[in-house]
Structure 1
Amino acid sequence: MDLPSGAVVGLSFAAGVGSALVITRLHRRRRHRTPATGPDLARSEPPPSPTIRRLRRVDLGREASRPDPQQPPDEPTRLHLFPLPSSGRIVLGVRDDQEITVPIGGLVVGLKGPGGIATARALLLTLLMHAGDHDVEIIIPRSDATQVLALNPDQVDELTQYARALHVTADLSAALRLLESERIHRARLLDTAPDNQDLAAVRQADPTEPLPHLVLLATSAPEQQRRLETVTVAASDYDIAIITLGEHPAGPTVNLDNAAQVTSSTGAGSDIWDGLRLFHVEQQDADQVLELIRSAHGAPEPEPESQPAAQTTTAARSPVSVARSAPPAPQAAQASGHRPVHLQVLGHPTVRVDSQILETGIRGKGRELLTYLAVHAEGASRDAIVAALWPDVDHKHAVMRFHALLHETRQTLKRATGRIDENFIVRTADRYGIDPELISVDLWRFHTALHEASQADRDQDQAVLLQEAVDIYQGHLAAEASYEQAYEWIEPERETLRRQAVEALIHLAILYERHEPERALTILERARSLDRYAEETYQHIMTLQAKLGRPDAVRRTYRLLETSLEDLAVDPSEETQQLLWRLLHPRGRSQTGQH
């Protein structure tokens, strides 16, 4: 696939970015803390950068085209550790529109010409995103890391703290020393292995033996030529790849133009490179991917800022308050009155007419349009709608599709309700929106209930309204059973609403925990079911279980958290670990200090 910058990457690269984006969001959920004042309606999930968003869209499209599309990855049951398993192979580029894949072990090449650095950058990023469960280790001298990734030495050091597959050495000599030592170790393992086993068989026989695919990426140096030649010999036997910037002393060297097209190749085994266009990544794209790799490995992100709170005399009311003073007018208008059409977007998008599900007439794209307008209660411009729903279609044809879809959706609702003079989707100035007088929207009622809870004076009234909100939340925004109708634009919106629902449940539990602790526990368990990565929810559950005198339940809850966080290859935070100790050893609090 081509990126606007001129870079070209493969589908596996997009898949790695997609997984990294999912896990970045899981880390945000893991670290999130509910504001003391209540659900925050002004804070939104940060949208991905343009390059990441484009790659994510391609990844979703790739999954949708599979004969057996898997579960959408916002609920990552398909994930284990980030990044993806490498499978021991890497995609180099394309020839005659076919991706060329080779084993990592035995990959030997020198990269020269204007496209050499961008190609090396693509290989390095691909390896970083496909180095799952410690099965790839990239060895690179510091000077080469700063050149290929355009980072300063401090940034390189910071990256290595999180990208476990990246091993930065002081110079090429140190990198070769490390590689030589590992080569000797592997040679001894093969000498003692039974039945002439290869390294893959040795790895399979003893999974505890760390034998990652080793990749050296470095600038070729004349003074190190003999050592490079030595480690290159039988590289495939030892699962080693040697990629040099510049002439390779013991393998093929390819000359690359600005588009990373192989213009010539020399050396033994160079025929495989003929006619190949290698994948390459420009620096502006690499910066965005590197930031995503860091955050997917658990690096802290800047705390997103809420929008400025509107002035309201109840803004500081405790325990429930929202930053936004009032929901948009279409949402506020949903409080009462019968409407012929009901749109459900929390859960599977569904249209009901007089309580009957509308089975035909509104296609998948029509449901997506209605969902988009439900999310954008204040209305949206035509250009914003077509950019979201048809991002890969040229503007002229996207506009034509929009008007055709708009007409079809209106006509379906007119026929279903018998209200042939109504439009249902109205245009005001340059914005299109759902007519709140004709269509009720569960999402709007959810936000209205949260807002009204923030305005309630009594705990009892707050509890009733929060309960109403969480009852309306019947599922995640536009939750789908497969990738077939996954909406790429909706992912940040879905994360925002998930957070608001969990925050509402936590504050509802706080209102009940003193007088109805069992009910509070049930509410918190529902919060955990909506987000099994949020440590805060487990902390609340453990604390309440301890107050009820259930230490075994406290331990079980902690183990559930450990199991969930295994997906992210992290342990519970020190804060949670200390909480566990205090809850199980209440008499020892004074000895551990104040926390």
Structure 2
Amino acid sequence: MPQRSPQAARKLAEYSHLPTVHQPADNRQDAASFGRLARSVVGLVVFLAGPPAALWLAGGGPAKRLPSWHHTVDWFGRSDRAITAAGLVDGAVLTLWLLWAALAVLLLIELLVLLAPRRLSLPRLPAPLHRLVFGLAGSAAITLAAGGRLDASPPKPFAEAAAIPQQAAAQGPALIQVGSERYVYVVERNDSLSTIAKRWLGDSGRWPEICQLNRHRHFAGGVLRDCDLIYPGWELRLPDDARPPASARPAPPRPREQPTTPPPTQPPDRTSPGPTPDASTGRADQPADSASEDHSDDRAEQADGLDLPSGAFLPWTVATAISAAAALVWLHRRRRYVPGDEPPELPSAVVHVHQQVNKRLTASQDLVERAHAVPPLPAVAPGGVGLTGPGAHAAARAALISALADGGPDHPERQTTVVIDRPTLAELFGANSAQALTPWPRLKLTDDVDQSLTFADEHLLRWARLHETNTQQPSAPLLLISAAPDEQLAVRAHITLGIGADRDITGLLLGHWSSGRTVDVDDRGRTSLVTGPSQDIEPRMAVLDVDTALAALTTLQEAHTGVPAAPPPITAGDQTGGDYSRPPETPASTGRQGSAQLRVLGSPRVEHLTAPGRPLRAKAAELAVYLACHPDGADTRTLGEYLVPDARIRQADQRIHTNASNLRHVLGRSGGHRPGGYVLKRGANDRYRLDPQTVDVDLWELRDKLTRARTTTPPERTTMLQRACDLYTAPLADGCDYDWVEPYREKARQWATEAHLLLAEDLLATDPPAASAVLDKALGLDRYNEELYRAAMRVRHHLGQSEGVTALLNGLTTGLRDLDAAPSQDTVLLAHQLLNDKRRSGQATSAR
């Protein structure tokens, strides 16, 4: 007698103590299954017998339609071989008979396979024909047999079917690679890179290092774009100093893959250059396997909004509005710019949002059009909403930013006013930020909730007054943000928000709102209704961390008022674009023998091409502009992040190498053949930079001439400034919609503005008409800078052209309407003073 294992014996003992349970037969399910089976059989019979019967009745049997041998030979022997109408009818009927016969045979074979007790081995047709024919037959079989299953097993109960999850599991194994070792890591719900950094690196603040090592890598479950989202199935690389925790277990070794192609017969030539682009096109490079890349998962992940590295989430409408505010800020800074008064850099979080929006949307290069492209933003549900959960504060910050970003210069009726008390503001942004923040017309700060409700009541009175007088101008919406009021103010808040539900007043209350709906928000913005009606509640709300919200808030304040606010503190999660205000270490000088002429002011190009060869690719031109803006260069990973962000890491490195090779080739057509020259590649990280000894860049020369002119005197200074003004004839990378270029473009414009102002100052004493011409050219390049208008007014006054002063003031007023702004008081006073001086001098002349 065979011996049982202890485990089998234990299970047998357990089963022996279980009661015997007989499931009662469900006659209703048996009847339903028999009915479905009967309908399937009837459908099968109708399909097999119905079409031949109809064809037989319509035209007889197929044998009658077949031509005889004598008629066939006679038809081929004719010279004309005409086809009669009767022949066409016979051919159509025979085709229908053949089609039915083929489908019937295939259907019977499929049914035979399904009913057979064991798997049958059937011969296969060629692959394309097999997919087509058996697909048609399978569709017919499924259509006929969809009513019931052949095994007549009862369906799962509704409760069991409802328990099946509708989305991918949030828990599962992943792999972590440290050097050459791989470990299994179980991904839990709400897991993040900071958790992995704390367990494996001992410091949760080192999560940006893990993000940088794995950004844009493609895994089985998607692409790492949001550093707060990781999924099972991914393989994350960690720094070499990572130490696995005690619970980590090594991963099994990878299965050895068989090579699909034979090894090369000879080693590759390592001295040969990398792959070169096609000479017949100047477009961006596309690797051979790029056509097979499928980025549908990436688009699905970002279809509803933008996930930021800090963990924030913004719907695309809100992100577009913030991008429009950034464009408006650049325009205001262009208007206010005075040489020597350098404006602060735009917060890097806002620049990142602006770049991501430009990647997704085809935006105009004109900043004015971008500033006016503010889509309607989702508003808080009328009547007030209470927010609870771990993401309540982040959702309140995002709602405040969304309300302030709505409207834009073209839609004053959507320019929401936000009312928030200082305790709530300190709770959302921190005590220090709340004290430093200054209110402006669209942001009202109150001392407590009682004052906020009083302001809302006054808004209701204004709305009623406008309604009674039938004023055409609608009242702007009002958003009230506060903590959930206590019992003393709860009734008042309920009345105010209830009346204001139809009068553009909404409330966002932190905490449970007993008089209305309450929504629970998690840290990723997902919402679930706690109490109240469910209409007007988005399935996912925007959420913002403190640093990103402060960056957006200061940007919106400057966009609305035109006055720069104090910049928010820089955190580890910020991604700066580098120092583009510093000149290159070794500025290039024009006209050196054997130097390539790279021009990035205006359309990017290489001038003075003396040798034939391939043209400059579009991506190679973008690489040239980026390296011109970064004289110290950039590593391959950074270049891939900005120039080819949607490619895999290995493909991005290959594309950067290909475009650098093309740029080096085209520069060699201008300066002469230099293997490995012009575009230098140095260091372990493959850091690319332009060689200042062999490449002349107009942007570098503009900065060099302006820097030297600040410390010299005429006439040498005038000569340098004249050269700088001659260089700047169009904006940086004019006509190119690079999503990263805007800050650099504005910096180059500031250099050009300063050069024209200094040159006009030098020429005013010796050649006033030439100074006037210089300023006219500068106004053509920048029609918003008020300092240029003031300098032009002084020159017009010096030339005795009082009508020119008036024309300049009118032109500035018209131009600033694009920014929803007006000339500053200093400009208006200067114009009036110059006109009055001209009038008094004319009166004195007539008195003599």
TM-score scaled by structure 2? 0.55
CA distance in 1, matches of 2:612, 2:394: 53
Deviation at 1:234?
A: 5.8
SS in 2 for 1:329: coil
Aligned residue number for residue 781 of structure 2: 530
Matched AA of 1:563: T
Aligned residue number for residue 159 of structure 1: 438
CA distance in 2, matches of 1:377, 1:432: 10
C-alpha contact 1:114 1:258 (8 A) present in aligned 2: yes
Q: Does 1:62 align with 2:342?
A: no
Alignment of 1:62-101 (within 5 A): 62-64=360-362, 69=363, 71-73=364-366, 75-77=367-369, 79=371, 87=376, 89-90=377-378
Q: Does 1:108 align with 2:384?
A: yes
Aligned residue number for residue 816 of structure 2: 565
SS in 2 for 1:487: coil
CA distance in 2, matches of 1:289, 1:357: 50
Q: Does 1:299 align with 2:563?
A: yes
CA distance in 1, matches of 2:799, 2:391: 65
Deviation at 1:369?
A: 0.7
Alignment of 1:339-488 (within 5 A): 339=595, 341-352=596-607, 354=609, 361-390=615-644, 395-410=649-664, 419=673, 421=675, 423-429=677-683, 431-435=687-691, 439-450=695-706, 453=709, 458-459=714-715, 461-480=716-735, 485-488=736-739
1:311-344 C-alpha deviation (Å, 9 max, x unpaired): xxxxxxxxxxxx99x9643514x442254x5322
Tell me whether 22-31 or 491-500 shows the greater mean CA deviation.
Answer: 22-31
Aligned residue number for residue 511 of structure 1: 762
Structure number with greater Rg is 2
Aligned residue number for residue 214 of structure 1: 478
**Cα RMSD after superposing both structures:** 3.5
Distance of aligned partners of 1:192 and 1:510 in 2 relative to their CA distance in 1, 3 Å threshold: closer
Q: Does 1:145 align with 2:425?
A: yes
1:288 to 551, 557, 563: 551
Tell me whether 492-501 or 168-177 shows the greater mean CA deviation.
Answer: 168-177
Aligned residue number for residue 40 of structure 1: none
* Structure 2 segments unaligned to the other structure (5+ residues): 1-305, 568-580, 841-848
C-alpha contact 1:346 1:442 (8 A) present in aligned 2: yes
Deviation at 1:525?
A: 1.3
CA distance in 2, matches of 1:398, 1:153: 40
CA distance in 1, matches of 2:732, 2:626: 11
Distance of aligned partners of 1:458 and 1:140 in 2 relative to their CA distance in 1, 3 Å threshold: closer
C-alpha contact 2:393 2:510 (8 A) present in aligned 1: yes
C-alpha contact 1:105 1:213 (8 A) present in aligned 2: no
Equivalent pairs counted in the alignment come to: 514
C-alpha contact 1:85 1:131 (8 A) present in aligned 2: yes
Tell me whether 509-518 or 428-437 shows the greater mean CA deviation.
Answer: 428-437
Distance of aligned partners of 1:247 and 1:456 in 2 relative to their CA distance in 1, 3 Å threshold: closer
Matched AA of 1:404: T
CA distance in 2, matches of 1:142, 1:86: 30
C-alpha contact 2:380 2:507 (8 A) present in aligned 1: no
C-alpha contact 1:79 1:567 (8 A) present in aligned 2: no
Deviation at 1:217?
A: 1.9
C-alpha contact 1:44 1:496 (8 A) present in aligned 2: no
Q: Does 1:174 align with 2:451?
A: yes
C-alpha contact 1:15 1:56 (8 A) present in aligned 2: yes
Overall identity of the aligned pairs, in %:
29
1:337 to 593, 602, 605: 593
SS in 2 for 1:140: strand
CA distance in 2, matches of 1:353, 1:299: 45
CA distance in 1, matches of 2:778, 2:670: 37
Matched AA of 2:679: I
Tell me whether 44-53 or 105-114 shows the greater mean CA deviation.
Answer: 44-53
TM-score scaled by structure 1? 0.76
Deviation at 1:49?
A: 3.3
Aligned residue number for residue 349 of structure 2: 51
CA distance in 2, matches of 1:489, 1:441: 19
Distance of aligned partners of 1:44 and 1:479 in 2 relative to their CA distance in 1, 3 Å threshold: farther
Distance of aligned partners of 1:395 and 1:241 in 2 relative to their CA distance in 1, 3 Å threshold: same
C-alpha contact 2:519 2:530 (8 A) present in aligned 1: yes
C-alpha contact 1:388 1:489 (8 A) present in aligned 2: yes
CA distance in 2, matches of 1:172, 1:215: 13
CA distance in 2, matches of 1:543, 1:46: 29
